[in-house]
């Protein structure tokens, strides 16, 4: 299955959170090992110093051992400081990413109800400007399968009952394409917190999922929901025509299949 190559800053930021957390955990594990070795060095230095204090004459072997342990202690302390500074820096970046994500004001709604009410034009609620959505990209080719893209709402035109949305990705000319779409072709994308609190989509159910590394949504089948994953709390899905491969997709990027017809 041919995938459209579309780099997404939003998608990359979300992946960065997971990578940063893994790096932080790895650094903390190393830090624990260094601190254990430092404790051993301190104990050795104290013992050697006691031995030297009890000696009436100078003991070159003990003095050399003391110097070696002091040098090793300094090396460990320097390494420890660097790791701590690195962890603090990574935590600051992680917090900034999380804050940025929370700043995006996305309303939590049931997708099926949105599709029905907005599709009939009877809903009093309208997606506001800046709302992140999955939008069905118009296609002039009748035989071409539908493609959904990650987009942002620019405006709702009440007189036409259509949304003006902007693709988050740039085209070959560096421009972001805009489309006029009916409400049934616009699905809100939840924030990570909203998705976490929402009921899980069960296994074997068809969904619309963001293909990893792109800003395109494709039809997929849930293999396992986040609660069934011990390490990465993402959905495991299998995309259509994708060599039967199983891929991980974040909960906020797994949507119930829309009823567009």
User: For residue range 82-98, what is the model confidence (pLDDT) as tens digits?
Assistant: 999 999 988 888 887 77
What is the average pLDDT across 49-78? Answer: 86
| Local confidence band at 108 (pLDDT 50, 70, 90 cut-offs) | very low
Q: State the pLDDT at residue 145.
A: 63
Summarize the confidence of residues 185-201 as an average pLDDT: 89
Q: Extract the tokens encoding 177.
A: 């394409």
Compute the mean pLDDT over every residue in the chain, rounded to the nearest whole number. 82
Least confident of 55-59, 109-113, 129-133: 109-113
Note the pTM of the prediction, 2 decimals.
0.53
pLDDT category of residue 33 using cuts at 50, 70 and 90: very high
Q: Which of 39-48, 50-59, 246-255 has the lowest mean pLDDT?
A: 50-59
**Over the chain, what HEC string results?**
CCCCCCCCHHHHHHHHHHHHHHHHHHHHHHHHHHHHHHHHHHHHHHHHHHHHHHCCCCCHHHHHHHHHHHHHHHHHHHHHHHHHHHHHHHHHHHHHHHHHHHHCCCCCCCHHHHHHHHHHCCCCCCCCCCCEEEEEECCCCCCCCCEEEEEEEEEEECCCCEEEEEECCCCCCCCCCEEEECHHHEEECCCHHHHHHCCCCCCCCEEEEECCCCCEEEEEEEEECHHHCCCCCCEEEEECCCCCCEEEECHHHEEECCCCC
Task: Tell me which of 255 and 56 has the higher pLDDT.
Answer: 255
Residue 76 confidence (pLDDT): 92
CB-CB contact of 186 with 137 (8 Å): no
User: How much is the average pLDDT of 48-65?
Assistant: 81
At 195-253, the pLDDT tens digits run 888 899 999 999 999 999 899 999 999 999 999 877 778 999 999 988 889 999 999 99
Mean pLDDT for 93-108 is: 61
Confidence of residue 124 (pLDDT cuts 50, 70, 90): low
């Amino acid at each position: 299955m041919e995938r459209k190559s579309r780099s997404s800053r939003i998608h990359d930021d979300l992946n960065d959170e997971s990578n940063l957390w893994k790096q932080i955990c790895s650094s903390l594990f190393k830090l624990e090992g260094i601190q254990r070795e430092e404790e051993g060095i301190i104990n050795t230095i104290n013992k050697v110093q006691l031995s030297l204090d009890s000696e009436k004459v100078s003991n070159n072997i003990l003095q050399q051992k003391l110097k070696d342990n002091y040098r090793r202690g300094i090396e460990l302390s320097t390494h420890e400081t660097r790791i701590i500074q690195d962890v603090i820096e990574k935590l600051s970046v992680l917090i900034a990413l999380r804050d940025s994500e929370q700043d995006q004001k996305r309303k939590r709604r049931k997708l099926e109800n949105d599709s029905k009410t907005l599709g009939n034009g009877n809903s009093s609620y309208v997606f506001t400007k800046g709302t992140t959505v999955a939008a069905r990209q118009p296609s002039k080719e009748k035989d071409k399968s539908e493609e959904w893209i990650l987009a942002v709402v620019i405006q709702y035109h009440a007189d036409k009952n259509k949304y003006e949305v902007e693709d988050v990705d740039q085209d070959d000319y560096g421009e972001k394409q805009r489309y006029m779409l009916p409400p049934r072709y616009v699905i809100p994308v939840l924030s990570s917190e909203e998705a976490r609190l929402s009921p899980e989509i069960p296994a074997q159910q068809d969904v619309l999922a963001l293909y990893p590394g792109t800003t395109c949504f494709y039809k997929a089948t849930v293999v396992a929901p986040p609660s069934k994953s011990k390490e990465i709390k993402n959905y495991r899905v299998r995309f259509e025509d994708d060599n039967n491969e199983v891929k991980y997709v974040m909960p906020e990027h797994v949507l119930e299949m829309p009823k567009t017809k």
